Structure 1
Amino acid sequence: MLVRVGQAGCALRWDALQQCWRWPDPVGSQLYAWPAPPAMPSGVRMLETARVMACCTSGRVLLGLGKRLGMVELPQPGQPSRPLQAQVLITIDAAEPRTSISDGCTDRDGNFVFGTANTAQDQRPIGSFYQYSQRHGLRRLALPAVVSAASIAFSPDGRRMLFADAARGPIMQCDYDAERAKASDVKPFSAMLEPGLGSAIFDSAGHLWSVQGGALVQYDGAGQVVQQIALAREAAASVAFGGDELRQLLVLGAQGGLYGLPPDLARGLAPGVADSLFVDSGSASIGSTRT
């Protein structure tokens, strides 16, 4: 374990601009960074609860705040730490009070792709998948309705999207056209090994790393299991590549612990694929930032 902060883990992301990992704590309403950038606090309080996030071309952070997408400005070095107030960009499915944003990440072109979950007890499949950009606004993806959207990830070339219903599985895949926000040829990628699918990412070799049942599962490109890794102290919540040449794979625990893989497991792994920054300034995508 590298560090433990906060009360809960959620979406772990590598911030290529500030060279640190970031994640929101949906219980403590904090946004954490590790290692903390110079002269910056490791945690900044938010006025609202967030479960998903993406780093932006401007240095700001895009957050999924319940039913809304919002943008926050991070404090500058030396500034007093004040609670982060989000600038609301859009409300999702405003007429349906049961849904909330549950998972999301940027595609390879810098659009934010996310899904919603049914938070009511009826657990009907009313969750949907969307693409949001400042160029095109909000566009719904033609994908099956789910109880709880999860495991959204994009292949290294950006042409294939993976997604799942956390409540039901399996992990699905489809062809993805970022410019037209079009999903097609939907089919299974791999069966769910354990109930409770969480976040997922690809490495540069085309392997999928999936959080499910509190463990980390590595699949090859054909959907076959390569290995399973469990944390000894808590359930896994999210996973991300980062660090020098994206060769460090970290796992965020459900109770706020941040873990690195032991050397015998980390040795020989393919490096990750950098998240594309969400394009919030100008009209052209800058693509993935590989650092």
Structure 2
Amino acid sequence: MLIRVGQAGCSLRWDAARQCWRWPDPVGSQLYAWPAPPAMPSGSRMLESACVMASCSSGRLLVGQGKRLGMLTLPQPGQPSRPLQAQVLITIDAAEPRTRISDGCADRDGNFVFGTANAAQDQRPIGSFYQYSQRHGLRRLALPAVAGATSIAFSPDGRRMYFADAARGAILHCDYDAERAKVSGTKTFSELLAPGAGAAVVDSAGQLWSVQGGVLVQYDASGHALRQIALAREAVASVCFGGAGLDQLLMLGAQGGLYGLPPDLAKGQAAGLADTLFIDCGSASSSELRA
């Protein structure tokens, strides 16, 4: 364990610009960074809790807060700490009070792809998947309705999208056209090894790392499970590659612990892929989008 802060963990991301991992605490309404950037606090209070986020081409953070996507401006080094308030961009499915944003990440072209979950006890499949961009706005992806959208990730070339329903027993994948927000050819990638699909990430070798029932499962590109990794103290909530060479795989625990792989497990492991920056200002080249 590297550090433990807050009360809960959900979405873990690597901020390449400031060389730190970031994650929101949805219970304590905090945004944490480790290691803390110079002259900046390790935690900042948010006026509204967030569950998903992505770094932006402007240096801001795109966050999912309940039913809304918003934009956070991070404090500059040396500025006094004050609560962070997101600028609301769009409200998702405003006529349906039961849904909330549950998972999301930027695709390889700088759009934000996310999904919603049914927060009510009935757990009916009323959640959807969307693509959001400043160029095209909000576009719904033609994927099956789910009780809880999760496991959203993309292949290295960006043409394959992985996703799952937290209430179902499989990870799915489909062909993905980012420019047209079109999906096709949905197939089962792999059956879950443990109930409850969670966060997922793809490495540079095309292997999928999937959180299932609080355990991290590594798959090869064909969907064959290679190994399972469990934390001794808490369930795994999220996973992310980072570090200068994207060769560090960290796991965020459900109770706020941040963990690294032991050297014997990390040896020989493929490096990760840089998160693509969400395009939130002007135009950007493909090289500028890599975080």
TM-score relative to the length of structure 1 = 0.98
Specify the alignment match of 1:158 in structure 2. Answer: 158
Specify the alignment match of 1:15 in structure 2. Answer: 15
Q: Counterparts of 1:81-230 in structure 2 under 5 Å? A: 81-230=81-230
Looking at structure 1, the residues matched to 129 and 235 of structure 2 have their Cα atoms a distance apart, in angstroms, of: 26
Residues 1:48 and 2:48 are matched in the alignment: yes
Looking at structure 1, the residues matched to 262 and 79 of structure 2 have their Cα atoms a distance apart, in angstroms, of: 37
Contact 1:71 1:86 in 2 (8 A): yes
SS in 1 for 2:245: helix
Show structure 2 runs of 5+ residues with no match: none
Q: Quick one: which amino acid aligns to residue 137 of structure 1?
A: G
Looking at structure 2, the residues matched to 213 and 97 of structure 1 have their Cα atoms a distance apart, in angstroms, of: 27
Report deviation, 1:288: 6.9
Looking at structure 2, the residues matched to 261 and 107 of structure 1 have their Cα atoms a distance apart, in angstroms, of: 26
Q: Quick one: which amino acid aligns to residue 164 of structure 1?
A: A
Q: Quick one: which amino acid aligns to residue 210 of structure 2?
A: S
SS in 1 for 2:164: strand
Q: Quick one: which amino acid aligns to residue 85 of structure 1?
A: Q
Looking at structure 1, the residues matched to 23 and 122 of structure 2 have their Cα atoms a distance apart, in angstroms, of: 30
Cα RMSD (Å): 1.0
SS in 2 for 1:245: coil
SS in 1 for 2:58: coil
Contact 2:57 2:289 in 1 (8 A): no
SS in 2 for 1:246: coil
Specify the alignment match of 2:257 in structure 1. Answer: 257
SS in 1 for 2:37: coil
Quote the sequence identity (%). Answer: 79
Looking at structure 2, the residues matched to 221 and 266 of structure 1 have their Cα atoms a distance apart, in angstroms, of: 18
Specify the alignment match of 1:70 in structure 2. Answer: 70
Cα gap change, 1:165 to 1:285, in 2 (>3 Å): farther
Q: 1:166-186 CA distances to partner (integer Å, 9 max, x unpaired)? A: 111310000000000001000
Contact 2:153 2:162 in 1 (8 A): yes
Report deviation, 1:283: 3.1
Specify the alignment match of 1:277 in structure 2. Answer: 277
Contact 1:4 1:257 in 2 (8 A): yes
TM-score relative to the length of structure 2 = 0.98
Looking at structure 1, the residues matched to 232 and 179 of structure 2 have their Cα atoms a distance apart, in angstroms, of: 42
Q: Quick one: which amino acid aligns to residue 20 of structure 1?
A: C
Report deviation, 1:196: 1.2
Contact 1:2 1:260 in 2 (8 A): yes
Which consecutive aligned stretches of 4+ in structure 1 deviate over 4 angstroms post-superposition?
A: 287-291
Looking at structure 1, the residues matched to 48 and 285 of structure 2 have their Cα atoms a distance apart, in angstroms, of: 29
